[in-house]
A = this chain, B = another copy of it.
Amino acid sequence: MPEKTGPVGGPGLLVELDRDAELPLHEQLERSLRESIQAGRLAAGARLPSSRALAREVGVSRGVVTEAYSQLSAEGYLLSRQGAPVRVARTVRAPAPRPSARSLLPSFPYHFNPGTPDLAGFPRDRWLRSLRAAWRQAPIDAVGYPDPRGVPALRQTLAEYLGRVRGAAAEPEQMLICTGFTQAFSLLCRWLAGRGVERIGLEDPGWHQHRLIVEAAGLEVVPVAVDAEGIRVDELEAAAVSAVVVTAAHQFPTGAVLSRERRAALVEWAEEGERLIVEDDFDAEYRYAGGGLGAVQGLAPERVALIGSASKRLTPGMRLGWALLPSWLAWSLAEAKTVEDRGSEAVGQLALRDFVERGELDRHIRRMRSRYERRRATLLDCLARRLPQARVVEGGAGLYELVELPEGTDEAALVAAAAERGVGVEGLSLHRFVSGGPPGLVLGFACLAEPQIEHGIRLLADALP
């Protein structure tokens, strides 16, 4: 005997029926549906279950449902046509829908975004092949709660990749798969804060997102100056911090490569005080000229957390990153991730593994590197012609170039004037903490085709006073 009152749940529709009430069941059903439509809980255009399905769920005869449906159709609440599912009429006045808030991310016709690779270059068909293979081959457990550290097979594959390409000392057991760089760094910062760490060194100028994450974790930012050889380790020594973030392979935003001497000094600083280096390895594979240097992590695996992601190497939308951690940190962060999200989606990880193992990642990076090389050449050429007063601080790597502007240029006014012309650029001051220095722009070139770069730089030049 069903309960006396209460809406009957189920995957179909929530309706309230009282079997002891005077009101016939079909009228109760009508009333309930009508109220749901009026309140907007059943939206205009929404599909209703078939009368058979609803009858079964609610535990009434099918006739009760068809009667209710036909009454509500007659009243104009529902649309029912032979052979088509019953839907809520489009004309029903629900509470005025609020306009959708814009995305939190700005959008420009010419967006020189330093953090975005060429999204159109992402090989969807090949990715979909890997995704299909992963779904076909994944064991049943792969759709259960995942290993919170990440799928073991992917950790193995990424460890091999990072050893081969980044010279990392990559131990799969000390790797944590995360939602991009951001989650790994955020977990790490909160772990530090929870152990009494109060301050962390950040490169200045440096990526402003580092600062946002650090501050959200309750840590204080200690800015450490950067020069042409990367972070000033002498300043770091004076700063009295126990952890620092470096972009050693390609400093953001200056493009500096951390020199051999500085690497040695940085590692010594970490070793002697049992300190932690967080190495943000965001785009090291994109190098257009000259030699690069392996990850600092390879020199001192117990003192460095190497954090990288698929964001610049493939696409940010994948939201897959990895942290290669010192042994003393690996299980603590795995535990923190377990409590905070119980691990990242597993089959996508298996797809990434397949993609790397097939050699697709290598091929993609090679293809993108020559594409970016051309785009970069176009950018440098356009800047030389249209903005001769700008000094390009050539990094020879990555997805962006830093451009310094003549002293006295009003950087904020230029950024605003460019935005008015549909050109999105980031001012250097966005990424400065306390450091002084000339005004400048950080110009991403990876996500714009050559004609867009040309036109965008022309518009940017027009925006100069």
| Bound form: Cα–Cα A359–B13 in Å | 13
CA gap between A122 and B346 in the complex, in Å? 15
Query: Is A6's CB within 8 Å of the partner chain B?
Result: yes
Closest to A218 in B: B194
Cα distance A141–B119 when bound, in Å? Answer: 7
Report the bound CA distance from A316 to B359 in whole Å.
30
For A292, the chain B residues whose CB sits under 8 A away are: 6-10, 14
User: Please, how many angstroms separate the alpha-carbon atoms of A272 and B26 in the complex?
Assistant: 37
With a cutoff of 8 Å between Cβ atoms, the chain B residues found around residue A140 in the complex are 119-120
Interface assignment of A67: CB less than 8 Å from any CB of chain B: no
The residues in A between 316 and 364 inclusive whose CB is less than 8 angstroms from any CB of B are 316-320, 334, 336, 338-348, 359, 361-362
A11 touches B294 (CB 8 A): no
- Per assembly, the copies of the chain total 2
In-complex Cβ contact of A144 among B3, B5, B43, B116 (8 A): B116
Shortest CB–CB separation between residue A90 and chain B, in angstroms? 14
- Is the CB–CB distance between A316 and B98 below 8 Å? no
Chain B residues near A422: list those with CB within 8 A: none
Shortest A185–chain B CB gap in Å is 9
Question: From A327, which residue of chain B is reached at the shortest CB distance?
Answer: B98
Chain A interface residue count, CB cutoff 8 Å, equals: 111
Which residues of chain A from 282 to 327 have a CB within 8 Å of any chain B CB? 284-285, 287, 289-294, 298, 311, 315-320
Chain B positions within 8 Å of A408 at CB level: none
* A145-153, A229-237, A383-391, A436-444 - the one binding chain B: A145-153
Contacts of A213 in B (CB 8 A): 339-340
Is B9 a contact partner of A291 (Cβ separation < 8 A)?
yes
Q: With the chains together, A316 CA to B342 CA distance in Å? A: 9
A182:B144 contact, CB within 8 angstroms? no
Contact (A294, B359) CB under 8 Å given A41-B170, A317-B347? no
A341 and B212 alpha carbons, distance in the complex (Å): 12
| Contact (Cβ within 8 A) A9 B249 | yes
For the complex, what is the distance from the CA of A10 to the CA of B289, rounded to whole Å?
Answer: 10
A39 contacts partner chain B, Cβ-Cβ < 8 Å:
yes
Interface membership of chain A positions 115-150, coded 1 if the CB is closer than 8 angstroms to chain B and 0 otherwise: 110011010100110011001000011111111110
State whether A160 touches B249 (Cβ < 8 A).
Answer: no
Shortest CB–CB separation between residue A170 and chain B, in angstroms? 7
Q: Is A196 an interface residue when CB atoms closer than 8 A count as contact?
A: no
A206 to chain B, nearest CB (A): 16
A148 contacts across to B, CB distance below 8 A:
104
**28 pairs from A and B in contact (CB 8 Å cutoff):** A2-B291, A5-B291, A7-B292, A9-B293, A9-B294, A10-B365, A10-B366, A11-B369, A12-B362, A36-B163, A41-B164, A41-B168, A41-B298, A42-B164, A43-B159, A43-B160, A104-B149, A119-B140, A124-B135, A128-B132, A142-B317, A143-B317, A144-B316, A180-B342, A317-B345, A318-B345, A319-B343, A319-B344
